[in-house]
Structure 1
Amino acid sequence: MSTQYDMFEIEQRPAPTGNRPGPRRPVGMSEDDMVRYLQATGRYRILSKLESRRIVTDVDDAFPLRGIVLDTETTGLNARKDEIIEIGLVAFSFNAVGQVGEVHAVYGGLQEPSGPIPAEITRLTGITDADVAGQMINMAQVKALVGPADLIIAHNAGFDRPFCEAFSPIFADKAWACSVSEVDWAGRGFEGTKLGYLIGQAGYFHEGHRAVDDCHALLEVLDQKVEGSSITPFSELYRASQKSRVRIYAEHSPFDLKEHLKGRGYRWSDGSDGRPKSWWIEVDEHLADDELAWLQTDIYRYDANPPMQSLSAFDRFKA
């Protein structure tokens, strides 16, 4: 026996056994009713399709700052030799405490590279040589969005910023923020930092791995409000972007202590990008003295003075 609810049928089953009675099944369910019913059973998790925000051209004085969520698709991982084949930009307003206002403009464009797109890139992005044939990113539109921006956000800015700066100088003198490294996703209960994980755990799903779609999705995740807290991920990200950080290069550190450095969070630079050839780490400015003391005690074992570089959002994530 079954009872029909709107466009689908739900099998009538015996009431569940145990101390907790199952939810009653109302008749004539709306879509919202169906969602609440399925969630109440405890057997389903509902994901909502992520809808792009509407574009609002009117300026609200309560949100005077301008942000850009940016995503790129490229022919490879090396910004010195690979090329951008797609860029997505979503321009929005925000205020000094990190509250998001409205989306004011959106741009997405394809670009034909100098050679064929590798098969692996097509598999990952769905972008084919036919898609980009004769295509060129409209730099007038890109500059119109990026020019007024107070902050550019990318999900792995260490990847996107070098590509964008190689593509156009409009990106070089901007403040950048990284939504991977500058939000404590684990502390917010997320199990990973990949955008797909964040979208799913935030209760959404979205279409495909295309640049503009990913920009819309990232903005929704960053602006997600949790009951009882006024600190959204975007607010946390904006605060982090305003802090100065210090990059410390452990030059001439003993080779046999490299695992010790890796365990501490140091990364290797081969010197090909103009940085010292050494292990390095970035720390908040107020932690720099403690990190230097650790190096002197645990690595060098003398009063070494390794190279240090102060970084703001205007300097971070550069190649």
Structure 2
Amino acid sequence: MKHAPLEAQARTLEATGAYRVLRRIAPLPLETQGPRDHTRIGLFLDLETTGLDPACHEIIEFGMVPFVYTLDGRILGTLPAFNRLREPSHPIPPEITALTGITQEMVAGKTIAPEEVAQFATQAALIVAHNARFDRLFAERFWEGFSTVPWACSMEDVPWQAEGFEGRSLGYLVMQAGWFFDGHRAADDCLAGVTLLTTRLPKTQTLALSALLQEARQPRWQIWAENAPFDLKEKLKARGYRWNDGTDGRPKAWFTEVPQAQKEDELHFLKTEIYLREVALLTREITAWDRFSHRA
């Protein structure tokens, strides 16, 4: 093993209790694929874009790292990555270049065909992103096939805070788990995300991917607080409700999303603390096929 002497030194330093050594993230060699009926191919996806609004901003880098995993949440290894740059129709804003390191010169003349993405992504049984609420909207506008695959979020679907982690940014979580990487480039972020999902959570000793899969498999419910009293909006916000302005065809109202087990408690909260009466509330079941999309 090429780095064995250095790893021995790192372990010696850590054993003193005075040092903590971070390991650089690297591809995970796939040593065995395992029986096909017990394994799946997941796809960790990350996009760099010219802004936050998929209606007017564009993808400038597309990264995807496939990984083989077992149904109980063990990652067996990674497969070759997809990483492409794309020239947008308008110049890249300076603040995006400062964040990602991607310049106008780097993307000049570069294109990504939806067919390329489709050929690579069709192998996936699950798409994972770190902040899927952002990535899924851009991805589906680029290739509609992303709307037919279940998605999960490595930021929202793993109980990082309950397990003792501080913050939810990818770079910070990776550092707390004992690694480092060159961030804000799509393929690097993807590999970091896959590696993070191999973490065994410190309190429950559950694998991070196992926790993510368990959460993604559970139906969730959107609950809409239509015509809620205006003077109670801060109470709704404090409980995690988000405002929808109605321009997407959904109600103009505050709403939240909760697991099946919390549905009745949330309805009780609205009736007893917001409306102060019995009221018929709009609820919608959301699964991984629609979660994080414009349909949810």
TM range (shorter): over 0.9
The one-letter code of the counterpart of 1:76 is G
Equivalent residue for 2:24, pick from 43, 49, 55: 49
Distance apart, 1:35 and its partner CA: 1.6
More deviation in 227-236 or 165-174? 227-236
SS for the counterpart of 2:289 is coil
Structure 1 unpaired stretches of 5+: 1-28
Number of the residue aligned with 2:35: 61
Number of the residue aligned with 1:24: none
**In the comparison of the two structures, how many residue pairs are matched?**
290
SS for the counterpart of 1:196 is helix
Q: Contact conserved, 2:201 with 2:208, CA < 8 A, in 1?
A: no
Number of the residue aligned with 1:25: none
Q: Residue 196 in 1 paired to residue 171 in 2?
A: yes
Number of the residue aligned with 2:14: 39
Q: Which has the higher contact order (CA 8 A, sep 6+)?
A: 2
Q: Contact conserved, 1:89 with 1:215, CA < 8 A, in 2?
A: yes
Q: Distance in 2 between matches of 1:281 and 1:228?
A: 28
Q: Which whole-Å deviations, capped at 9, do the CAs of 1:201-243 have from their partners, x for residues lacking one? A: 1111112310000100110111123689662111100111000
SS for the counterpart of 1:221 is helix
Equivalent residue for 1:251, pick from 206, 226, 239: 226
Q: Distance in 2 between matches of 1:52 and 1:36?
A: 21
Q: Residue 306 in 1 paired to residue 281 in 2?
A: yes
SS for the counterpart of 1:105 is coil
Identity across matched positions, percent: 43
Q: Which whole-Å deviations, capped at 9, do the CAs of 1:87-136 have from their partners, x for residues lacking one? A: 11011122221222232331011111110011111111111111111111
| CA 1:254–1:90: 2 relative to 1, 3 Å | same
SS for the counterpart of 2:162 is helix
Q: Distance in 2 between matches of 1:95 and 1:125?
A: 33
Number of the residue aligned with 1:11: none
Distance apart, 1:144 and its partner CA: 2.4
Distance apart, 1:40 and its partner CA: 3.2
Q: Which whole-Å deviations, capped at 9, do the CAs of 1:17-71 have from their partners, x for residues lacking one? A: xxxxxxxxxxxx9423422332233332211111122467x75325431210000
Number of the residue aligned with 2:54: 79
Q: Contact conserved, 1:107 with 1:141, CA < 8 A, in 2?
A: no
Q: Distance in 2 between matches of 1:30 and 1:89?
A: 33
Equivalent residue for 2:263, pick from 288, 293, 301: 288
Q: Distance in 1 between matches of 2:261 and 2:11?
A: 47
The one-letter code of the counterpart of 1:279 is W
| CA 1:141–1:61: 2 relative to 1, 3 Å | farther
Distance apart, 1:138 and its partner CA: 4.3
Structure 2 unpaired stretches of 5+: none
SS for the counterpart of 1:127 is coil
- Larger-gyration structure (1/2): 1
Q: Distance in 2 between matches of 1:226 and 1:82?
A: 36
Number of the residue aligned with 1:218: 193
The one-letter code of the counterpart of 1:295 is L
More deviation in 272-281 or 175-184? 272-281
Q: Distance in 1 between matches of 2:21 and 2:10?
A: 7
| CA 1:226–1:183: 2 relative to 1, 3 Å | closer
SS for the counterpart of 1:164 is helix
Q: Distance in 1 between matches of 2:204 and 2:274?
A: 41
Equivalent residue for 2:153, pick from 170, 178, 183: 178
Number of the residue aligned with 1:13: none
More deviation in 222-231 or 141-150? 222-231
The one-letter code of the counterpart of 1:155 is H
Distance apart, 1:141 and its partner CA: 3.6
Number of the residue aligned with 1:152: 127
Q: Which whole-Å deviations, capped at 9, do the CAs of 1:157-192 have from their partners, x for residues lacking one? A: 000000001111111111000111111001222111
Q: Which whole-Å deviations, capped at 9, do the CAs of 1:63-87 have from their partners, x for residues lacking one? A: 4312100000001000111111111
The one-letter code of the counterpart of 2:213 is Y
Q: Contact conserved, 1:265 with 1:281, CA < 8 A, in 2?
A: yes
